[in-house]
Amino acid sequence: MLETLSANEIVSSIYRKEITPEEVVSYYLDRINKFNPILNAIVSLKKEDMIIEEAKSLTQTETNQDMLLFGLPLAIKDLFDVKGLPTSYGLPLYKSNIAKKNSILVDRLIKHGAIIIGKTNIPELAIGSHTTNKLYGVTANVYDQSKTAGGSSGGAATAVAASLVPFADGSDMMGSCRNPAAYANLYGYRPTPGLIPEDRNMKIDEKFPLLSTPGCIARTPNDLALLLDAISGVHASDPYSFDPPSSFRKSHISDDEFLKIRVGWLGDLNKQYTFEDGILNMCENVLKRLDEDFLSVNQETSIINTSDLWHSWTTLRAKNNYLHLEEANLQEHPDLGFGAQWELEKGKELKTEDLKVAFSQREECKKIADQMFGKYDFLVMPSAQVFPFEKDKDYPKKISDKNMDSYHRWMEVVTFSSLLGLPSISVPVGFSKSGLPMGMQIIGKKGYDLNVVAFAKKYEEIFNHSANRPNGF
């Protein structure tokens, strides 16, 4: 029965006493026991008797129906602290790094009645878009277990797609919610930084624009909205945090409003980006349907210089990553993987003048983005430049005939919204001829998160991509 219900419907059924939290938890634990050995999405799983006891304690407690996630079992990305569980960051060095308190996000989930059952797998230090590490191994794609789940929230995406959890938190610096969602036929959201508060190192974070943010992944935008209402809003410990103007569950675009929406299709940015065959066509087919039957879609001949965009992004990201690794005393650690080593080597060499150039390039990109948002309500780009690749590869070394010059160049398409702090949701666009999923990014103005989620709700109403479930799961 539960497989046909949304997260909100499960919670409502619990409140109506049609089902108990114990039954909900048992359902998901059965699926974890059956499928997680194949997928390796969830790590640091609590003992089952402890999880069941937590569910029983909820049943026995007088509850306030303002608890949006009451009785839902959730697994937390292995970047965020859960008291009593290890926060490993995918590193053997931190295998026994037991958290002494919860992160802000986890506290909010628990406050709303969620039952934390374990962690979701990530790449080492959440660096890179392929979920594999030396501690827990590789997470498989639910649509083809020989392929990558993407990353860095790959464990989260696979867990949601296989219905091991109803939805999941994530984080997104360089597509880390959008890429794995695209690879799993899901909705993956990178909000405006600050919408979801987080624990910050202010000595470092004050030096840069907010490059990373917590995010979330769900089967539908309505489920996403429920989770966002539970975890969004101002927190005293995060000076960048802010409240959304209203509820994500109530965000809505009427049919008449939808007809007036203007969408700018950025595509390959005037052939500046290279894509695996089929990706652009899949996105364009979806946009053609929208343009013919609903809203207005136009090809945007943007003048964004992607070389400047890439230089600005990689400079600010590398310096930011270097400072965080230095703070953790990991800057000289010999066992760090190629992604971390790349960031360390680049970040270490950067000078004040390099950062000035990067900030200047960012400002130029922002001016162009503002011009485009003068014409369009939303901008659209693919969510990835390649389909899910073999999971035993480190990363794609080539797209078509173009060599990739870094471990993350193949994900360059996500940097536009990341650099400028724009809310961006990956929505499904279908499957390749070989059955692999893909998505495209719907990008909104900074702070217009309610609009982006409302658009995604309307999109799902039209295309119903959530009905396409992976075979065997």
- Catalytic (active-site) positions: 77, 152, 176
DSSP symbol at 97? -
Report residue 338 as tokens.
């190629």
All residues at 6 or more sequence positions from 74 whose CB lies less than 8 Å from its CB, including other chains:
109, 114, 115, 116, 117, 165, 166, 167, 168, 169
| The one-letter amino acid at 345 | E
Burial class (CB in 10 A: 0-12, 13-18, 19+), 422: buried
CA gap 366, 371 in Å, rounded: 9
CB 181 within 8 A of CB 169: no
Kindly provide the b/e burial profile for residues 192-209, where b requires at least 16 CB atoms within 10 angstroms of the residue's own CB: bbbbbbbebeeebbeebe
Q: Which residue type, as a one-letter code, is found at position 161? A: A
**Is the distance from CB of 120 to CB of 77 less than 8 angstroms?**
yes
Q: What is the Cα–Cα distance from 167 to 131, expressed in whole angstroms?
A: 18
- Sheet arrangement for strand 187-190: 167-172, 213-218, 187-190, 424-431, 437-443, 378-382, 262-265, 296-299
Question: To which residue do tokens 């136009």 refer?
Answer: 298
Q: Tell me which DSSP letter residue 397 carries.
A: S
Q: How far apart are CA 271 and CA 430, in angstroms?
A: 23
**DSSP character for 92?**
G
Main-chain dihedrals φ then ψ at residue 5, nearest 5 degrees: -100, 145
